[in-house]
Amino acid sequence: MVSFPDFITRAGKIWSVLHSNALFRFGLHTIRNIAIFLIIAIAALILHEVVVFLEELNMPVFITGLLTFGEYGALVIDVVWFLGDLGIRAIRLLIALWKKPVETGI
């Protein structure tokens, strides 16, 4: 039976091996960035629904326009951040693979 401290040590060693792999890091960061992208996109979608609700209540155009501007601003910044980070990480991955190709064992 494996003791708990021994399990933590083994898990740390496995994590360090995985994290040193460029493909694993790229996938991990991509999944994290997709989650962040979805959270911000859902917030923009909720803000859009708030704007629609406020327009039905005949709120002043200034308020709904300002909220719409914030909604589109958040969405544009989110897309630019996501694609920019994805591009930078893809370039880093290509450089890492160029320096040390992945051993497939085939």
Nearest Cα residue to 68 out of 40, 48, 39, 46: 48
33 within domain boundaries: yes
47 within domain boundaries: yes
Predicted structure pTM score: 0.74
10 within domain boundaries: no
Total domains in the chain come to 1
11 within domain boundaries: no
Range of the domain at 65: 22-99
- Are the C-beta atoms of 86 and 78 separated by less than 8 Å? no
CA-to-CA dists, residue 87 to 4, 29, 79, 91, 94, angstroms: 40, 12, 12, 6, 11
Can you give the pLDDT at residue 8?
66
1 within domain boundaries: no
2 within domain boundaries: no
pLDDT tens column, 42-78: 999 999 999 999 999 999 999 999 999 999 999 999 9
49 within domain boundaries: yes
